[in-house]
Structure 1
Amino acid sequence: MTSHQETRMEVEVGEHCFFPQCNRLDFLPFVCDLCHQTFCKYHRVPSSHNCEHIDTNIISTCTLPEKQEFLFHCSLPSCKKRHVTSVVCESCEQSYCIQHRHQEDHSCPALIVAEQHSTRTVRGRPLGQPAKATGTSGVKGGSSSKHTSGKVALMKLKMRAVGLDSIPQVCSGVVAGEVDRVYFEVELPRTSGLPNTSMFVSKEWCVGRTVDYIAQRFKLKNDNHKAHAQKLCLYCEGAVLGMSHKLQDLIHTVITMGTTLTLEYE
């Protein structure tokens, strides 16, 4: 074999780089996984030889995570807002917002059960067991039991009460912990055919505004703004409440929390 033939065989060993600006002869060429062309070690990466398949490959294999909002729903039915943080009640194991995290604020069923259990005991003895002959212990126990039963009844009323969610449960800027909502049972006009309803309104409202709100919520005829029309009035134990009186002035004097009020036409 001549020297010219040997030189020709050596030249034909290897592959030329497919990159037009290179065309280097590489004895250990690399094959691109995207375009399947042969390249030298300097242009083996898809981005180094401007691979025509690099964009489509990235789009098809890479997906951006969707933006998620980590907001929580309060388990209290009357609370419609979504909150960034939540607190789990240890008793009922439900998630609540900061405003309703305490058992009293969300009328925790476990708290109601505890209150009902306390009504079955009088001064540490089971109900029905004869009391010691002290003369006054039975009276004190009866008064305590009645007070506890009233608290349980009010708590149940709060759980089913309806009203404006914008009315805060606790006043702001006044006495700490002072309740802003007034809870009551309302008897709707007999002509409406609607059952009694548990409700709450703001104690800052006057009686007239309370009447207008109830009439609007239950779509009752209300011509109180007309001079000679039949008036829709709110009664407590048969006595009509003055339209201009504020509810906070009537609490503990005329009405109490949980009082049954009657809405009727004069």
Structure 2
Amino acid sequence: MLINISRIRPDFLPVACPLCHLTFCGDHRLPLEHKCSQWTQASKDVVQCSECQHLIQSPIHEKLTQEQALEKHKKSKCQLYLYPPHNNISKIDRQCTVKGCRDIDPRVGPVHCNGCDQDFCLKHRHPASHGCQSLDTEEQRKIDRRLAAQEKLAKTFVPQPPKKRKIITAVPVKSKNGGMVELMKIKSQAKGSANVPASSRIYIYVQGPKESKVELQSVYFDKKNSVGKALDAIADMCKVNNKNNTISPSDPERLELYKCPDMALLNKSDPLEKALKNLDTVLLERQGSLSVEEVDEEE
């Protein structure tokens, strides 16, 4: 909804009538608008200033017209010819509740605060200016709303337990660690295809699955070959039934190659030179035969 700001004006309530000294709202502050009982007794040469909204009356001895008196009044910044004069305005009984303040305008009157049910001058009319007790009540109301919202959120959004990830428990293998001597030894003992050039060979240790009872063996493959091709060759070497081409990836009978000792699953599409290095140990095993442990992702 659009609001025409130009039509908004401040309205200080209540407003005291300078004639009958009663208080009225902004729309009924003028004598004729509230049928003032003292208007008939007032001089008919009184005129209202359009800027300050006060009644204006020129002194009799100056013999000014209403227009001249009004013009002089405006030039004096609305100080001259006020009717009735300041010293004739009855003192307002109600004073500003702020201790020591005597600034209630006798022409405007006190401003009533609904929060604490007290009267104040224009300067102290805002709740924050006079330390209104309603501010504490409103602050407590905000705290209560915030606590209620937090309680509702806690019931609506139940915290989820940390996600689990699966790791394969390490399998005891006869892994070897060596250097040049070990490499020379494995080269003299490893089995493999004679068609693989010596410069293209990768020498590794292989341990077969439980069902084959094959102990640790030294073999070599073409390092350009894929892990999947090496898996097929190792399965043939261990004389185990390889059904990888006919079963699903989640089938417990599926054969996989794991790098020891951390039991990292090797990607079948990777070349051997990327997945392994000389003297590494691999385990051929069915994925359903390995012990799987669930741990929190945060670990």
Q: TM-score, normalised by structure 1?
A: 0.38
Bigger-Rg structure (1/2) = 2
Say which structure, 1 or 2, has more relative contact order (CA 8 Å, 6+ apart): 2
Q: TM-score, normalised by structure 2?
A: 0.34
